[in-house]
A = this chain, B = another copy of it.
Amino acid sequence: MKALQYHSKEKPLILDDLPDPPTSSDRILYEVLASALNHRDVWICQGLYPGIQPKVTLGSDGVVKHNGQHYMINPGLDWGSDPHLPSDSYTILGMPADGTFAEKIALSQEQLFQTPGHLSVFEAAALPLAGLTAYRLLFIRCQLQASDRVCVTGIGGGVALTALQFAVATGCEVWVTSSSINKIKKAVTLGAAGGQLYTEDQWHKKLLKDSGGFDVIIDSAAGDGFSHLIAMANKGARIGIYGGSKGNISNLSPQRIFWKHLTIFGSSMGNASDFRNMVDFVDQNRIVPVVDSIFKLSDFETAFQRMRMGEQFGKIVFDHKK
């Protein structure tokens, strides 16, 4: 079968002909119809991810076919018995276990969740990891309520867009930030109340004035701008962190944190129950994940380059049948 593997830092990606993955009594072989890129795939290729190993098929998001039905894959493996925390052996598909960027994948049946009927195979492929991460961060960690005013930073990425959609479906007023006015405009068509270019001088003061401050803030940038998010936080606000693309946080006022009774939640991925609840939420609210573009697996260089450049708005999907 064809599979896109990580090989080494020097030559990260090779699309190769490989033997079918091994099966066992509880892991059978499924045909992968579509998959989707995540930032972690790019970071692995740049050597910027923990636990990188050579000759592993990448890809955490995927849709498989089984008995004529489409199923999304929960990419999490070995979360463990504590719903609050993953076990030390928790990983997700696509490193170190072989992932979804292949014609076939061996999975246990409990990883499969039937695709909601309103989703195409490509929209379904766009959902799993971004949906899981956004769901746990918003609802389990930040305890999102309809009355919360929400800020989602860096709109355009999979988790950020899904968080926007989930918060809008909850009934929240949601604002976004981006370096692109086009992405802000697109976010407004998805239900955002408004947005702010974070490249503008005094952007946080403008956004605070326009919005009135935030009860929940969802961020994957961190860096120097994080202290501005804390300044825009209302009393009792919850700030969810799921990434750190702008590096370490600096100039963070402890006084703002304790006087405003803030809570900062770190979160990554989620457990099987979160995945189940996330799929139900998407189903009930008829949420359609945003697909940026669809590539053949053989066009992986173009697809990875698009994500490296941050050009996408929504998920970059691979059509495995093309």
Contacts and interface: CB of A to CB of B under 8 A. Distances in A.
Contact of A254 (B88, B241, B263): B241
Given A257-B264, A260-B266, A248 B241 contact: no
Interface in A214-269: 222, 226-227, 235-236, 241-244, 247-268
A308 interface: no
A85 interface: yes
A258 B243 contact: yes
A84 interface: yes
Nearest to A256: B266
Contacts of A265: 263
Given A236-B85, A253-B248, A254-B241, A264 B261 contact: no
Nearest to A223: B254
Interface string A156-188: 000000000000000000000000000000000
A248 B252 contact: yes
Interface residues of A, number: 37
Interface string A265-308: 11110000000000000000000000000000000000000000
Nearest to A250: B250
A254 B219 CA distance: 10
B263 A264 contact: yes
A41 to B, nearest CB: 17
Contacts of A255: 244
A246 to B, nearest CB: 9
Given A85-B236, A266-B259, A254 B244 contact: yes
A157 to B, nearest CB: 14
Interface of A: 50, 84-86, 88, 141, 222, 226-227, 235-236, 241-244, 247-268
14 contacts: A84-B236, A86-B235, A222-B254, A226-B254, A244-B258, A247-B254, A250-B250, A250-B252, A252-B252, A257-B266, A259-B268, A260-B266, A261-B267, A263-B263
